[in-house]
Protein backbone atom coordinates (compact mmCIF):
# COMPACT_ATOMS: atom_id res chain seq x y z
CA UNK A 1 0.00 0.00 0.00
CA UNK A 2 2.78 2.33 0.96
CA UNK A 3 4.60 1.46 -2.21
CA UNK A 4 1.52 2.14 -4.26
CA UNK A 5 1.17 5.59 -2.77
CA UNK A 6 4.81 6.36 -3.38
CA UNK A 7 4.49 5.14 -6.95
CA UNK A 8 1.38 7.21 -7.51
CA UNK A 9 2.90 10.31 -5.97
CA UNK A 10 6.08 9.98 -8.00
CA UNK A 11 4.27 9.30 -11.23
CA UNK A 12 2.00 12.26 -10.68
CA UNK A 13 5.01 14.36 -9.84
CA UNK A 14 6.80 13.18 -12.99
CA UNK A 15 3.74 13.82 -15.13
CA UNK A 16 3.33 17.23 -13.56
CA UNK A 17 6.97 17.95 -14.12
CA UNK A 18 6.58 16.81 -17.73
CA UNK A 19 3.71 19.18 -18.24
CA UNK A 20 5.68 21.90 -16.52
CA UNK A 21 8.62 21.25 -18.86
CA UNK A 22 6.31 21.42 -21.86
CA UNK A 23 4.78 24.67 -20.65
CA UNK A 24 8.11 26.21 -19.88
CA UNK A 25 9.36 25.29 -23.39
CA UNK A 26 6.29 26.80 -24.95
CA UNK A 27 6.64 29.90 -22.78
CA UNK A 28 10.20 30.43 -23.99
CA UNK A 29 9.18 30.06 -27.62
CA UNK A 30 6.35 32.51 -27.04
CA UNK A 31 8.69 34.94 -25.30
CA UNK A 32 10.99 34.80 -28.32
CA UNK A 33 8.12 35.60 -30.66
CA UNK A 34 6.93 38.32 -28.29
CA UNK A 35 10.37 39.93 -28.22
CA UNK A 36 10.45 40.10 -31.98
CA UNK A 37 6.91 41.42 -32.32
CA UNK A 38 6.25 44.65 -34.13
CA UNK A 39 8.90 44.78 -36.84
CA UNK A 40 6.05 45.00 -39.36
CA UNK A 41 8.20 44.34 -42.38
CA UNK A 42 11.81 43.87 -43.35
CA UNK A 43 14.02 43.57 -46.40
CA UNK A 44 17.42 41.98 -46.49
CA UNK A 45 20.01 40.82 -48.98
CA UNK A 46 21.43 37.38 -48.61
CA UNK A 47 24.48 35.63 -49.98
CA UNK A 48 24.52 31.83 -49.82
CA UNK A 49 27.81 29.94 -49.88
CA UNK A 50 27.56 26.21 -50.49
CA UNK A 51 30.57 24.01 -49.78
CA UNK A 52 30.78 20.26 -50.37
CA UNK A 53 33.06 17.82 -48.56
CA UNK A 54 35.56 18.30 -51.35
CA UNK A 55 35.84 22.05 -50.66
CA UNK A 56 34.05 22.99 -53.90
CA UNK A 57 32.16 26.25 -53.41
CA UNK A 58 29.08 27.62 -55.06
CA UNK A 59 27.36 30.95 -54.51
CA UNK A 60 23.77 32.20 -54.74
CA UNK A 61 22.41 35.70 -54.02
CA UNK A 62 18.85 36.46 -52.93
CA UNK A 63 16.70 39.23 -51.54
CA UNK A 64 14.14 38.43 -48.87
CA UNK A 65 11.12 40.54 -47.97
CA UNK A 66 9.04 39.64 -44.94
CA UNK A 67 5.68 40.94 -43.80
CA UNK A 68 4.68 40.41 -40.20
CA UNK A 69 1.16 39.16 -39.63
CA UNK A 70 -0.53 38.36 -36.35
CA UNK A 71 -3.67 36.33 -37.05
CA UNK A 72 -1.85 33.98 -39.41
CA UNK A 73 1.78 33.23 -40.26
CA UNK A 74 4.10 35.72 -41.93
CA UNK A 75 4.29 36.27 -45.67
CA UNK A 76 7.59 36.28 -47.44
CA UNK A 77 8.94 36.92 -50.89
CA UNK A 78 12.34 35.67 -52.01
CA UNK A 79 13.94 36.94 -55.20
CA UNK A 80 16.96 35.23 -56.74
CA UNK A 81 19.65 37.62 -57.98
CA UNK A 82 22.23 35.05 -59.01
CA UNK A 83 23.19 32.62 -60.57
CA UNK A 84 22.44 34.53 -63.76
CA UNK A 85 20.16 31.89 -65.26
CA UNK A 86 17.69 32.09 -62.37
CA UNK A 87 17.87 35.88 -61.89
CA UNK A 88 14.44 37.26 -61.25
CA UNK A 89 12.98 33.93 -60.23
CA UNK A 90 11.00 34.53 -57.06
CA UNK A 91 8.96 32.62 -54.53
CA UNK A 92 6.03 33.88 -52.52
CA UNK A 93 5.09 32.05 -49.37
CA UNK A 94 2.14 32.43 -47.03
CA UNK A 95 2.96 30.57 -43.88
CA UNK A 96 0.00 29.24 -41.97
CA UNK A 97 -0.12 28.57 -38.29
CA UNK A 98 -2.08 25.42 -38.96
CA UNK A 99 -1.89 23.28 -42.11
CA UNK A 100 0.36 23.47 -45.15
CA UNK A 101 1.85 26.74 -46.32
CA UNK A 102 0.94 28.23 -49.69
CA UNK A 103 3.74 28.75 -52.14
CA UNK A 104 4.05 30.21 -55.60
CA UNK A 105 7.02 30.54 -57.88
CA UNK A 106 7.46 33.06 -60.64
CA UNK A 107 9.57 31.94 -63.59
CA UNK A 108 10.74 34.93 -65.70
CA UNK A 109 11.81 32.66 -68.57
CA UNK A 110 8.17 31.78 -69.29
CA UNK A 111 6.70 34.78 -67.45
CA UNK A 112 4.38 32.51 -65.51
CA UNK A 113 3.49 32.00 -61.89
CA UNK A 114 3.36 28.36 -60.82
CA UNK A 115 1.86 27.13 -57.62
CA UNK A 116 3.92 24.53 -55.83
CA UNK A 117 2.27 21.74 -53.98
CA UNK A 118 4.11 22.27 -50.73
CA UNK A 119 3.46 19.01 -48.98
CA UNK A 120 7.19 18.65 -49.42
CA UNK A 121 9.07 21.25 -47.52
CA UNK A 122 11.79 19.13 -45.98
CA UNK A 123 14.00 18.99 -49.07
CA UNK A 124 17.12 21.12 -49.51
CA UNK A 125 16.59 24.74 -50.51
CA UNK A 126 18.38 25.33 -53.86
CA UNK A 127 20.88 22.56 -53.20
CA UNK A 128 21.94 24.03 -49.86
CA UNK A 129 22.00 22.38 -46.45
CA UNK A 130 18.96 24.46 -45.45
CA UNK A 131 15.61 22.82 -45.87
CA UNK A 132 12.76 25.05 -46.82
CA UNK A 133 11.31 24.37 -43.37
CA UNK A 134 14.48 25.76 -41.75
CA UNK A 135 14.08 29.07 -43.52
CA UNK A 136 10.34 29.59 -43.31
CA UNK A 137 8.71 31.66 -40.62
CA UNK A 138 8.92 29.97 -37.21
CA UNK A 139 5.31 29.79 -36.08
CA UNK A 140 4.65 28.62 -32.52
CA UNK A 141 2.00 26.14 -33.60
CA UNK A 142 4.36 24.15 -35.79
CA UNK A 143 6.10 22.43 -32.86
CA UNK A 144 5.56 20.71 -29.56
CA UNK A 145 7.94 21.93 -26.88
CA UNK A 146 9.97 20.53 -24.06
CA UNK A 147 12.23 22.62 -21.87
CA UNK A 148 15.56 20.87 -21.37
CA UNK A 149 17.90 23.03 -19.31
CA UNK A 150 19.14 26.46 -18.42
CA UNK A 151 22.83 27.29 -18.68
CA UNK A 152 23.56 30.79 -17.38
CA UNK A 153 21.74 33.02 -19.82
CA UNK A 154 21.02 30.23 -22.27
CA UNK A 155 17.74 28.31 -22.40
CA UNK A 156 17.68 25.03 -24.20
CA UNK A 157 14.39 23.78 -25.60
CA UNK A 158 13.51 20.69 -27.58
CA UNK A 159 11.01 21.23 -30.39
CA UNK A 160 9.19 18.38 -32.10
CA UNK A 161 7.63 19.23 -35.46
CA UNK A 162 3.88 18.67 -35.73
CA UNK A 163 3.99 18.04 -39.50
CA UNK A 164 4.49 14.30 -40.22
CA UNK A 165 6.27 15.23 -43.46
CA UNK A 166 9.00 17.10 -41.64
CA UNK A 167 12.49 15.74 -42.20
CA UNK A 168 13.23 15.89 -38.47
CA UNK A 169 12.20 14.06 -35.35
CA UNK A 170 13.27 17.01 -33.20
CA UNK A 171 15.32 20.15 -32.99
CA UNK A 172 17.25 21.40 -29.99
CA UNK A 173 17.13 25.18 -29.89
CA UNK A 174 19.32 27.40 -27.73
CA UNK A 175 17.76 30.75 -26.81
CA UNK A 176 19.62 33.67 -25.24
CA UNK A 177 17.27 35.11 -22.62
CA UNK A 178 19.39 38.22 -22.02
CA UNK A 179 19.29 39.23 -25.65
CA UNK A 180 15.60 39.22 -26.45
CA UNK A 181 15.38 35.43 -26.59
CA UNK A 182 17.37 35.39 -29.80
CA UNK A 183 18.37 31.94 -31.11
CA UNK A 184 22.06 31.08 -30.81
CA UNK A 185 22.07 27.55 -32.10
CA UNK A 186 19.80 24.84 -33.47
CA UNK A 187 20.64 21.15 -33.68
CA UNK A 188 18.57 19.06 -36.08
CA UNK A 189 17.92 15.35 -35.58
CA UNK A 190 16.88 13.22 -38.55
CA UNK A 191 14.08 10.66 -38.72
CA UNK A 192 16.19 8.02 -37.02
CA UNK A 193 17.04 10.55 -34.30
CA UNK A 194 20.68 11.00 -35.31
CA UNK A 195 22.28 14.43 -35.20
CA UNK A 196 22.02 15.61 -38.80
CA UNK A 197 22.89 19.29 -38.83
CA UNK A 198 23.95 22.15 -36.58
CA UNK A 199 23.00 25.73 -37.30
CA UNK A 200 24.96 28.51 -35.59
CA UNK A 201 23.83 32.12 -35.51
CA UNK A 202 26.67 34.64 -35.28
CA UNK A 203 27.42 38.35 -35.70
CA UNK A 204 24.18 39.44 -34.15
CA UNK A 205 23.19 43.08 -34.49
CA UNK A 206 20.40 44.91 -32.72
CA UNK A 207 18.13 46.82 -35.08
CA UNK A 208 15.78 49.58 -33.90
CA UNK A 209 16.83 48.80 -30.31
CA UNK A 210 14.58 45.76 -30.35
CA UNK A 211 15.17 43.29 -33.13
CA UNK A 212 18.16 40.99 -32.98
CA UNK A 213 19.28 39.74 -36.38
CA UNK A 214 22.25 37.45 -36.98
CA UNK A 215 24.35 38.48 -39.93
CA UNK A 216 25.79 35.02 -40.42
CA UNK A 217 24.11 31.64 -40.25
CA UNK A 218 26.28 28.61 -40.64
CA UNK A 219 24.71 25.23 -41.24
CA UNK A 220 26.93 22.17 -41.03
CA UNK A 221 25.65 18.79 -42.15
CA UNK A 222 27.44 16.21 -40.00
CA UNK A 223 26.47 13.29 -42.19
CA UNK A 224 27.34 14.61 -45.65
CA UNK A 225 30.10 16.94 -44.37
CA UNK A 226 28.63 19.70 -46.53
CA UNK A 227 28.21 23.28 -45.28
CA UNK A 228 26.11 26.28 -46.17
CA UNK A 229 26.88 29.81 -45.02
CA UNK A 230 24.24 32.54 -45.14
CA UNK A 231 25.52 36.11 -45.10
CA UNK A 232 22.82 38.71 -44.47
CA UNK A 233 23.50 42.35 -45.17
CA UNK A 234 21.69 45.66 -45.56
CA UNK A 235 18.81 44.88 -43.20
CA UNK A 236 16.06 47.40 -43.80
CA UNK A 237 13.21 47.75 -41.32
CA UNK A 238 11.91 50.98 -42.84
CA UNK A 239 10.64 49.71 -46.17
CA UNK A 240 7.04 49.84 -44.93
CA UNK A 241 5.94 46.91 -47.07
CA UNK A 242 2.28 46.00 -47.08
CA UNK A 243 -0.05 43.21 -48.28
CA UNK A 244 0.12 44.64 -51.80
CA UNK A 245 3.79 43.73 -51.98
CA UNK A 246 3.02 40.08 -51.28
CA UNK A 247 0.60 39.09 -54.01
CA UNK A 248 1.00 36.97 -57.13
CA UNK A 249 1.11 40.20 -59.12
CA UNK A 250 3.85 41.58 -56.94
CA UNK A 251 5.71 38.34 -57.57
CA UNK A 252 5.81 39.10 -61.28
CA UNK A 253 7.05 42.64 -60.75
CA UNK A 254 10.34 41.63 -59.14
Partner 1 sequence: MNAIKKIKNSTNKFASNWAKIVIKNKWPVLMFSFLLVIGLGSQGELEFDGDYHVFFSESNPELEAFDALQEKYTKDDNVIMVLSPSNKDVFTKLNLTAIEDLTAQSWNTPYSSRVDAITNFQHTSAHGDDLYVDDLSYNSLNKSEAEINKIKEIALKEPMLVNRIVNEEGSVTAINITVRLPGEDSAKEVPEVTKYVRDMVSNFKSKYPHFDVHISGMVPLNTAFFEASMKDMGLTGIMILIVIITTFLLTRSIQSTLTTLVVVMFSIISTLGFVGLTGIKLTPPSSVFPTMVLTLAVADSIHIIITMLQKMRKDGLNKNEALIESMRLNFMPVFITSLTTVIGFLTMNFGDVPPFWDLGNITAFGMAMAFLFSTTTLPALMAILPIKVKSKIKENEPVYYFNWYSELARFVIKQPIKLSIISFLAIGFLTYLASKNTFNDEFINYFDESVEFRTDTDYISENLTGVYNVEYSIGSGESGGINNPNYLNKLNEFENWLKQQPEVVHVNAFSEVARRINKSMNGDDERFYKIPSTREEAAQYLLLYELSLPFGLDLNNQINVDKSETRVTVTVKNLDSPQMIEFSKRGEQWLRDNTPTEMHAIGVSPMLMFSKLGFRQADSMLKGNIIALILISLVLMIALRNFKLGMLSIIPNVAPVLIGFGIWALYKAQINTGMVIVFGMTLGIIVDDTVHFMSKFLRAKREYGYNANQAVEYAFETVGQALITTTVVLLAGFAVLSTSSFALNSYMARITVVIIISALIIDFILLPSLLILTNKEKKKVKKKYTSFFFFR
Name the site residues for partner 1 (rule: CB under 8 A).
50-54, 56-58, 80, 83-86, 89, 91, 103, 105, 107-110, 112-127, 131-132, 165-167, 191-192, 194, 223-224, 226
Rounded distance between C-alpha atoms, residue 78 and residue 135, angstroms:
11
Smallest gap, in angstroms, from Cβ of residue 22 to partner 1?
A: 25
Tell me which H or E stretch contains 177.
none
Cβ of residue 241: shortest distance to partner 1, in angstroms?
A: 23
Residue number, 78 or 156, with CB nearest to partner 1: 78
Query: Are 235 and 44 spatial neighbours (Cβ–Cβ below 8 Å)?
Result: yes
CA 124, CA 48: separation in Å to the nearest integer?
13
* Cα–Cα–Cα angle for 17, 145, 226, rounded to 5 degrees: 135
105/118 Cα distance (integer angstroms): 11
Using the minimum distance from each CB to partner 1, give the nearer residue, 50 or 77.
50
Q: Which long-range contacts (CB under 8 A, 24 or more apart) does 68-76 make?
A: 68/37, 68/38, 68/39, 68/40, 68/41, 72/96, 72/97, 73/97, 73/101, 73/137, 73/139, 74/137, 75/243, 75/246, 76/136, 76/137, 76/246
**In angstroms, what is the minimal distance from the CB of 58 to partner 1?**
4
**Alpha-carbon distances of 108 from 20, 65, 85, 87, 171, rounded to whole Å:** 51, 19, 10, 8, 36
Length of the chain in terms of residues written: 254
Compute the least distance from the CB of residue 114 to partner 1, in Å.
5
Q: Which is nearer to partner 1, 38 or 123 (CB)?
A: 123
The least distance separating partner 1 from the CB of residue 191, rounded to whole angstroms, comes to 5
Smaller CB separation from partner 1, 188 or 212: 188
Is the CB of 7 or the CB of 82 nearer to partner 1? Answer: 82
Bridge partners of residue 160, in order along the sequence: 144
Q: Measured from the CB of residue 124, what is the shortest distance to partner 1 in angstroms?
A: 5
Q: How far is the CB of 222 from partner 1 (least distance, A)?
A: 9
Nearer to partner 1, 108 or 180 (CB): 108
Measured from the CB atom, is 42 or 89 closer to partner 1? Answer: 89
Q: What are the CA-CA distances from residue 183 to residues 65, 168, 176, 249, 251 (Å)?
A: 20, 18, 6, 34, 30
Amino acid sequence: MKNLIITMVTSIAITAMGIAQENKGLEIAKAAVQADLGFNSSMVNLKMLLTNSNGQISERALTIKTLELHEDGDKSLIVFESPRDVKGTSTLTYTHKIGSDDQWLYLPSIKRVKRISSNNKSGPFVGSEFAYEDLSSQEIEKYNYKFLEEKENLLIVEQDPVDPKSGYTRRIVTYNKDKGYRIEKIEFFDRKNMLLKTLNYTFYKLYKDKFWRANTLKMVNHQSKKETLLDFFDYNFDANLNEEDFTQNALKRN
